[in-house]
Structure 1
Amino acid sequence: MVTRAEAEELLRTFFFDPRAARERASDALVGDPDPAVSSIGHQVVGIVLRDLGRTDEALAELRTAMRLARRSGDGEREADVRATLGASLATSGRVREGLVQLDRAASALSGVSLGRVLVRRAWVLSFLLERFDAGADDLRRAREIFARDDDLVWEARALHLEGVTRIGMGDLRGARDVFERSRAISTGLGNAGAVADSTHVLGWVDFLEGDLPAALERYADASARYDALGVTIVDLVYDQCTAFLSGGLTGDALEVVRQALAARPLQAREQADLLLAEAEAALAAGDLPRATSAADRAGRMFRRQDRTSHALRADLLAIAARADAGRPASALLRRVEALVDAARATGAPELPPALLLGARIAGQVRSARAAGLAHTWLEEAAAFRAAGRGTGSTRALGWLALARLRAAADDPAGVLRACDRGLSALDEHRATLGSTELRARTSGHGTELAELGTRTALASGDARRLLRWSERWRATSLAVPPSVRDHDPETSTELAALRAHHRRIDDARAAGEPTDVLQARTARLEQSVRRRLFHERGTGTTVGSLDVAVLLDALREDDTVLVELTELDGVLHALTAGRGRVRHRVVGQAASAAKAVDFALFTLRQAARGRRAQLDVAGARLERALLASALDGVGESRVVVSATAALQGVPWGLLPSLAHGPVTSTPSARLWLRARVAAPADGDRRVMLVGPGLGSGGAEVPVVAADDPGAEVLSGDAATVSAALAALDGAALAHVAAHGHFREDSPLFSSLTLADGPLLVHDLQRLERAPHRVVLSACESGVMQPVGDQELLGLAAALLSMGTAGVVSSLAEVDDAATVDVMVALHARLRQGGGLGEAMLAAREAAAGDPVLAATAASFTVLGT
């Protein structure tokens, strides 16, 4: 037999371990002859079922609990069940009906029992209906009751909900304080579920304050705590999705939603929240039909649930998806007007993006009224640029609105100032991010500002101004070195485990055994490493704009000409800087340039395989499509090319006008300026040759070593990841002859295969000192992935970001035997002095006359100096 007191205690503390509480309630309480005890049992089971998303079963259990409570004749027992039923009805989407039950329960109770009802009602008022003032009143009364009766369990719950209410009222500092107090009480009580809740909401505060790494770290911690309890919390999933999207991680956002949708049955409220998250992620990923469908369904559900602010968010996404899909602006204008009015009336955070969207739609409608609306909305949105009006992204929206106003007023200088200020706001936000991937992907938030600034600079006819704006948002994530040189123990352990898994996969494949399980474990490890690195904090360092005068002085000093390519509205432009001036030429369609690059890489692959290929035809086509007349008058100067992110994989040595002179490339002019003054660390003059001797690759290492007795060689089984990292650290020249693997799906897991497994980009970022120059002789070792807006990820990009001055790498498949000859010629020239551009020229000249050798030499490119 279970006493009434024991049953009441189980009800009070069941959320410490919901599964165990449900089992005990089912086994010991539900069948008890005392209707009050049995009522408590059904109530506990109903709450647990509700939280598992099994709404119909939960409501059935709670109605049974109500009948038993009435039979017991205990009015307080009946009112407590009624309160639980009311909260559950509200959770299922029947909010008004739930509030009626909660009001009836509150009117029938006093003391601690009333306090618990007030907390439940406050949750409905604040969390579901956004009636924060009313929720705060209930919580104030409840906390007074709990303090008087020393009920720490419910005091912690009330504090937690008070934090949510404070956030709704804009008091983030107060919210953090009460969340911390709630967490401290729950930790003392050993309430793991409540500690997980507090961890989650503290991450939410971090996110709202603009600290994305801290938010992602707390969310990951909360997720692990919930996993240990065997529960899925949809609110956390939604917040994780939002955080991933703010970091430009659309794939991660969609994946976290997909997993939650499949995890368990969902309550109506939870389903609506996940549909909203799905709509946001799909819109960011460009899946407009999916975004439209999910947003429409979420909006209908939110309105049935009386969740006004969530419905506004769904409407914003639904209208944006339709606008992006090219729906007639006139048909969307009335709907966006209603959205703006509602967001303004409620002070919803959706107001700034709603104003920008409305101005965009109104601007496409030809009427005086629509023009007036567009102007009014832009003025209102521009006010959000002020400090303290939200996150860096929100302030950037304000600056974008101001830039559009200045454009309408024919004030190009004002446009450029506003665009620059908006990008600076985003720069400050990105400076808080330690993850190279996060910094690169978040650049997408500045696309509209960068394009408007560049378009305005182009219209000015000032080539120097256009060069500055071409550089303003280009490869900025690479210009900031990684903030952390060493990984935390967990990350280091998982990277070591990854290498072990790759070895097992290779062994299994060699033995003809299945690898599915190993590959799944490897994918999970990669995801864990990747997301843990998102938690790293940035240095706070931002990158200034290009000083064109400084660039021109450096180019004159080095007798070098820079050709920078920029794309705008599908047209490729070339800016040639050198000899004290900048010239602008329109090249042609960017699509034609991309096709020419694909054809050139295909031709190189064919030639490397010994097949007939017209390298001269491919080179001439490349030059016409990428440079046109941009090289006219360059003469014998060295050439450095800075292409767009989409055109980084260009074999520049194949172009007729560049084949007979030293040519290098760089992601941005600013990186070139940094690289030209770089020097070997601490005067280190070591030449390191690393060749694990796997398969047929790396045959050049002993040949090069024979010609350079001073070189240090790391070969065979000794060429492990740890030994290679020690060799690379600070070396003047490091040559790594190992098979490479570029990961288009996750560029920072691109690797070089060493004796004990892959050396990843993440491993390279652990180096204390970047090697001064690096030669990567593996096939496709120079391939980089464009991400975000004009950003790049990959092996070569990571080395440049760390401070390496120059990288020789291949863009295509190369012949192993021919690579030996090319590398021998390259090293011979380096020993004579000079830069990598001159060394690569010598290799091309030595390869002339032999199609396979020429194709191999042309496949290698120099990034940096």
Structure 2
Amino acid sequence: MLEGAALHAAREAMRLADVDPARAIPAAAAVAREARGEAAALAEQAWGHALAQCGQIDEAVTHLRRAVRLGSGAAAAESRMKLAYALVQRGRAASALREVDRAIPVLGARARAQRAVILYHLGRLDEAFQDYQSAERSLRRGTDRLSLQRVLMNRGILQAERHNFAAAVRDLQEADGIARAQGRDLVVGIIAENLGFAESQRGDVPAALAHLDRAEEIISRNGGQLAPVLEDRASLLLSVGLVGEALDHASQALAAYRREKRSLAVPQARLMLADASLLAADWTAAASHARAALRQFVRQGRDHHAAQARAVVVRAALSSGAPCRVRDADLDLMVTLLHGRPAAVQAHLDLAAVAQRRRQPARAVAFLELASRARSRGPASLRARGWYAEALLRSHTGSGSALAAVRRGLRILDENHASFVASDLRAHAATHRADLASLGLRIALDSGRPADVFEWAERGRCLLHRPVRPPDDPELAALLPQLRSTALELSGASGAAVARLEHRLVDLERQIKNRSRQLRGVAGDPASPVRPSSLDLGDRMLVEFIEVDGSLLALSVADGRLSLRTVGSVRSVAALLERVPFALRHLARRPRPDVLAFLRSTAAQLDALLLPDCDRPLVVVPTGVLHDVPWSVLPSCAGKPVVVSPSATLWHAAATRVSRPRTFAALSGPGLPGALEEAQAVAEIHDITSPPDATVDDVLKALATASTVHLAAHGKLNPDNPLFSALALHDGPLVVYDVQRLEQVPETVIMAACDVGRSVVVSGNELLGLAATFLERGVSQLIASVVPVPDAETKELMIALHRRLRGGLSPAEALAEAQQSLDRPNGFVCVGA
């Protein structure tokens, strides 16, 4: 190859390394094998840079070292800069700094910018920021737009970590404009990922998800590395309590970093797994991941990151009750290294707990004072954590109202989460309220005032927002029919088509879920919890159950009086409850006297624990394990109207809602013996007609127009993906996302379908599923079963129920009388008001 042609080809390979690294690798390799001198050095540099861009770090280091040896002057300095980047990815920060420092005298601002990147990865953020500032000033005086773009992109990430969000977005948007003007598509994708990271740090989840989705699409199209996108998405999902998905993405990121031998990123992914394991209450896994990350950070000389990992080890020990054997001096060093970083707030809280264990009250107070400083600045989650520290501090020192501090923290979180359209985001994000709500409840219990306990029992339920209806979104509206048609096709498929359709269904569910999470809504301010004195219970009794430290407590409100009692251990109640669905399933298949006696004995024991001496209509506010109790089987509930509600506040809102004139609709789905006959019998009672082949649109129209809707169809609760819990209809499933889009819902919904009365319980008392969504959207009464129901028996119960509704009884009264008239135990409950 002629020297001029070789140099031209090497320069083209270098250009490709930035915009299309996958194509640059063979192009650079071809030149490097034939060229000599300057062309060979440039080709090796392009080869190494492209390999680094594609994650092949070991090979990149080899070729970049060769480029340094072959080059001279500016060319060798350029190669040193890129070598430094590859070395820091391998976790060899000291070697990287040596290489870049040798390049600074030749390349000036560009090499200083690269040095800033290395300092950032070492956790030396202040030094990195100063280098970025110096490099930017120099580059703006020149014409090197590519180097300026890199500085802006990298400084934007640093600004986001320092919570200077407006500055971060400005830097990243300017970098994006430069990259687009230069046709650097892969870099546009990387900048989109960084914008996702910045919005994630700010707490703007919909914006962050949109940026990360765009980043994944662009980076995939251009052959770039997706592991950083996976890691950023894991961090974002963890910030809203979606632990399972966060663990999955962090595991994928860790595997990719290992596969690509990007040693610098491996311990960061391990630390992410440790954080996710903590939120999942898997203390063993959290400690294991954190210790592994700690060892690697220490080997890499990254003291600040090592301090973060050591803090997670301490937190895992505290959470599990294991001894914390770290010396006070090491704990103080950890505090020094974490100073000014978001992780410092949680570390200070943990160290305060360690000091409490060690009977060092002064140290505990000092750590709490440090943690409480976060309450005035930063994203919502950090400020709320600062108010939690302030509440603990006030509780320890008696220096102010601890409950007022808890309320401030909860309000910050609730206002931040109020605009989430996706109900799974709102429900799972409630996990970050847990410590605050629990602290408020403990303080209230210590006060001995039942009214305070009632307030904090309600605040812990977080069901106080007005419903958020998703905006009309064409993309979401187009995806739902595709989901239905695919599910319908799958139900009749066989052979190889099954796997193809299952894959298509999973992909559609992913698209629907992601799109829903990116939508924004406008919700009103969080409502205040209802006061016991405001509850118009009449002759009813309201019983609200609370879990505290493994014990179950019950608050009762009746005749204007409020009382508090201990029920027993959660474990013993849960053990009894496990027997009930077992007995009901057996009785549904074949009535047996011994099983019936077993059920009655179990129900009597539960009754004595949960509802002693109760002889009046009930409003039950369950918690945890009590959400799926078929209350009608308990002796105290037999023949009496019983309403189950997720919170007293929600019950009060529904009970005081102005009623609409009663209009009825009855519809049925396919494949359920007797469903059509049941719907037609119900329709005959109310002098209406029932369509024989009801579609999703038929049901949605009925839900939007009738005040009482009866649905007889196969139901499915999806415990792993509750927003895809469904009712089977003739053109496919009706899912939660369909219900969420309704502008108006009925007052009463009756679902004569197995299992859809149950909800998935997350974050303590947050509910997800069809039943929960109907209530969230404003349905006042929902009648459904919390256990599987035999099809043949449902028709008889539903006819008895509707005859009583036609006679003017309320849904709860009609259900109670219908159940008693059949004298056969079943799992139907009335939820709402």
TM range (shorter): over 0.9
Tell me the CA shift for residue 788 of structure 1. Answer: 1.0
Q: Which residue of 1 aligns with 2:88?
A: 90
Q: How does 1:156-235 map to 2 (within 5 A)?
A: 156-168=149-161, 170-235=163-228
Tell me the CA shift for residue 679 of structure 1. Answer: 4.4
Which of residues 645, 648, 656 is equivalent to 1:677? 656
Q: Which residue of 2 aligns with 1:396?
A: 384
The one-character-per-residue Cα deviations of 1:105-149 (angstroms, maximum 9, x if unpaired) are 22234xxxx443233222212x21344454445444544554454
CA contact (8 A) 1:596 1:618 kept: no
Q: How does 1:781-796 map to 2 (within 5 A)?
A: 781-796=756-771
CA contact (8 A) 2:430 2:462 kept: no
Give SS of 1:729's match.
helix
Which of residues 255, 265, 276 is equivalent to 1:270? 265
Taking the aligned partners of 2:564 and 2:600, their CA distance within structure 1 comes to: 23
Q: Is 2:244 the counterpart of 1:251?
A: yes
Q: Is 2:572 the counterpart of 1:592?
A: yes
Taking the aligned partners of 2:524 and 2:57, their CA distance within structure 1 comes to: 50
Q: Is 2:11 the counterpart of 1:17?
A: no
CA contact (8 A) 2:623 2:764 kept: no
Tell me the CA shift for residue 471 of structure 1. Answer: 0.8
CA contact (8 A) 1:332 1:361 kept: no
Tell me the CA shift for residue 485 of structure 1. Answer: 4.8
Q: Is 2:561 the counterpart of 1:581?
A: yes
Which residue identity lines up with residue 276 of structure 1 in the other structure? L
Aligned CA distance change for structure 1 residues 102 and 626 (closer, same or farther; 3 Å): farther
Gaps of 5+ in 2: none
Q: Which residue of 2 aligns with 1:860?
A: 828
Aligned CA distance change for structure 1 residues 404 and 622 (closer, same or farther; 3 Å): farther
Which residue identity lines up with residue 411 of structure 2 in the other structure? S
Give SS of 2:563's match.
strand
Taking the aligned partners of 2:741 and 2:807, their CA distance within structure 1 comes to: 32
Which residue identity lines up with residue 484 of structure 2 in the other structure? R
Q: Is 2:102 the counterpart of 1:116?
A: no
Taking the aligned partners of 2:564 and 2:766, their CA distance within structure 1 comes to: 23
Q: How does 1:418-433 map to 2 (within 5 A)?
A: 418-433=405-420
Taking the aligned partners of 1:520 and 1:171, their CA distance within structure 2 comes to: 42
Which of residues 549, 554, 558 is equivalent to 1:569? 549
Q: Which residue of 1 aligns with 2:56?
A: 54
Tell me the CA shift for residue 684 of structure 1. Answer: 6.2
Tell me the CA shift for residue 685 of structure 1. Answer: 4.2
CA contact (8 A) 1:620 1:655 kept: no
Q: Is 2:631 the counterpart of 1:652?
A: yes
Taking the aligned partners of 2:661 and 2:189, their CA distance within structure 1 comes to: 50
Taking the aligned partners of 2:827 and 2:460, their CA distance within structure 1 comes to: 28
Taking the aligned partners of 1:645 and 1:290, their CA distance within structure 2 comes to: 25
Which of residues 606, 629, 640 is equivalent to 1:625? 606
Which residue identity lines up with residue 626 of structure 2 in the other structure? L
Query: TM-score by structure 2 length?
Result: 0.94
Count of residues in Structure 1 that have an aligned counterpart in Structure 2:
826
Which residue identity lines up with residue 76 of structure 1 in the other structure? A
Q: After the TM superposition, which segments of 4 or more aligned residues of structure 1 sit over 6 Å from their partners?
A: none
Q: Which residue of 1 aligns with 2:447?
A: 460
CA contact (8 A) 1:443 1:788 kept: yes
Taking the aligned partners of 1:392 and 1:648, their CA distance within structure 2 comes to: 30
Which of residues 477, 490, 496 is equivalent to 1:505? 490
Which residue identity lines up with residue 726 of structure 1 in the other structure? K
Give SS of 1:244's match.
helix
The one-character-per-residue Cα deviations of 1:665-694 (angstroms, maximum 9, x if unpaired) are 1010011111113346xx564311111242
Taking the aligned partners of 2:586 and 2:352, their CA distance within structure 1 comes to: 52
Taking the aligned partners of 1:64 and 1:394, their CA distance within structure 2 comes to: 47
Taking the aligned partners of 2:557 and 2:598, their CA distance within structure 1 comes to: 28
Taking the aligned partners of 2:331 and 2:599, their CA distance within structure 1 comes to: 50
Tell me the CA shift for residue 12 of structure 1. Answer: 4.4
CA contact (8 A) 1:587 1:626 kept: no
CA contact (8 A) 1:645 1:667 kept: no
Which of residues 775, 779, 802 is equivalent to 1:827? 802
Q: Which residue of 2 aligns with 1:687?
A: 664
Select between 3-12 and 83-92 the one with higher mean Cα deviation: 3-12
Which residue identity lines up with residue 516 of structure 2 in the other structure? L
Aligned CA distance change for structure 1 residues 728 and 287 (closer, same or farther; 3 Å): same
Aligned CA distance change for structure 1 residues 33 and 209 (closer, same or farther; 3 Å): closer
Aligned CA distance change for structure 1 residues 493 and 155 (closer, same or farther; 3 Å): same
Aligned CA distance change for structure 1 residues 414 and 33 (closer, same or farther; 3 Å): closer
Select between 413-422 and 221-230 the one with higher mean Cα deviation: 413-422
CA contact (8 A) 2:471 2:519 kept: no
Taking the aligned partners of 2:140 and 2:336, their CA distance within structure 1 comes to: 42
Gaps of 5+ in 1: 849-853
Aligned CA distance change for structure 1 residues 602 and 136 (closer, same or farther; 3 Å): closer
Q: Which residue of 2 aligns with 1:7?
A: 10
CA contact (8 A) 2:781 2:830 kept: yes
Question: Percent identity at matched positions?
Answer: 33
Taking the aligned partners of 2:269 and 2:685, their CA distance within structure 1 comes to: 64
Taking the aligned partners of 1:59 and 1:760, their CA distance within structure 2 comes to: 52
Q: Which residue of 2 aligns with 1:524?
A: 507
CA contact (8 A) 1:337 1:358 kept: no
Which residue identity lines up with residue 329 of structure 1 in the other structure? C
Aligned CA distance change for structure 1 residues 340 and 143 (closer, same or farther; 3 Å): closer
Tell me the CA shift for residue 739 of structure 1. Answer: 0.2
Taking the aligned partners of 2:398 and 2:610, their CA distance within structure 1 comes to: 32
CA contact (8 A) 1:276 1:295 kept: yes
Q: Which residue of 1 aligns with 2:673?
A: 696
Aligned residues: CA RMSD: 2.4
Aligned CA distance change for structure 1 residues 566 and 131 (closer, same or farther; 3 Å): closer
Select between 323-332 and 451-460 the one with higher mean Cα deviation: 323-332
Aligned CA distance change for structure 1 residues 165 and 514 (closer, same or farther; 3 Å): closer
CA contact (8 A) 1:729 1:769 kept: yes
Select between 800-809 and 274-283 the one with higher mean Cα deviation: 274-283
Taking the aligned partners of 1:843 and 1:708, their CA distance within structure 2 comes to: 17
Which residue identity lines up with residue 596 of structure 1 in the other structure? L
Q: How does 1:196-595 map to 2 (within 5 A)?
A: 196-263=189-256, 264-329=259-324, 331=326, 335-344=330-339, 347-366=340-359, 370-386=360-376, 389-409=377-397, 414-476=401-463, 479-486=465-472, 488-508=473-493, 511=494, 515-552=498-535, 554-556=536-538, 559-595=539-575
Give SS of 2:592's match.
coil
The one-character-per-residue Cα deviations of 1:1-58 (angstroms, maximum 9, x if unpaired) are 535355335424532111122232223x213433211221111111122233322211
CA contact (8 A) 1:471 1:545 kept: no
Which residue identity lines up with residue 604 of structure 1 in the other structure? L
Q: Is 2:625 the counterpart of 1:639?
A: no
Taking the aligned partners of 1:65 and 1:223, their CA distance within structure 2 comes to: 32
Q: Is 2:613 the counterpart of 1:611?
A: no
Taking the aligned partners of 2:301 and 2:374, their CA distance within structure 1 comes to: 28
Taking the aligned partners of 2:707 and 2:577, their CA distance within structure 1 comes to: 32
Aligned CA distance change for structure 1 residues 118 and 402 (closer, same or farther; 3 Å): closer
Which residue identity lines up with residue 474 of structure 2 in the other structure? P
Tell me the CA shift for residue 86 of structure 1. Answer: 2.3
CA contact (8 A) 1:454 1:470 kept: yes
The one-character-per-residue Cα deviations of 1:223-275 (angstroms, maximum 9, x if unpaired) are 22212223224333322211111100111111112222334423111212221
Taking the aligned partners of 2:626 and 2:506, their CA distance within structure 1 comes to: 29
Q: Is 2:755 the counterpart of 1:780?
A: yes
Aligned CA distance change for structure 1 residues 789 and 514 (closer, same or farther; 3 Å): same
Q: Is 2:683 the counterpart of 1:705?
A: yes
Taking the aligned partners of 1:737 and 1:223, their CA distance within structure 2 comes to: 42
Give SS of 1:268's match.
coil
Aligned CA distance change for structure 1 residues 75 and 405 (closer, same or farther; 3 Å): closer
Which residue identity lines up with residue 217 of structure 2 in the other structure? A
Which of residues 712, 733, 750 is equivalent to 2:708? 733
Taking the aligned partners of 2:327 and 2:281, their CA distance within structure 1 comes to: 19
Which residue identity lines up with residue 522 of structure 1 in the other structure? L
Tell me the CA shift for residue 535 of structure 1. Answer: 1.7
Tell me the CA shift for residue 838 of structure 1. Answer: 0.9
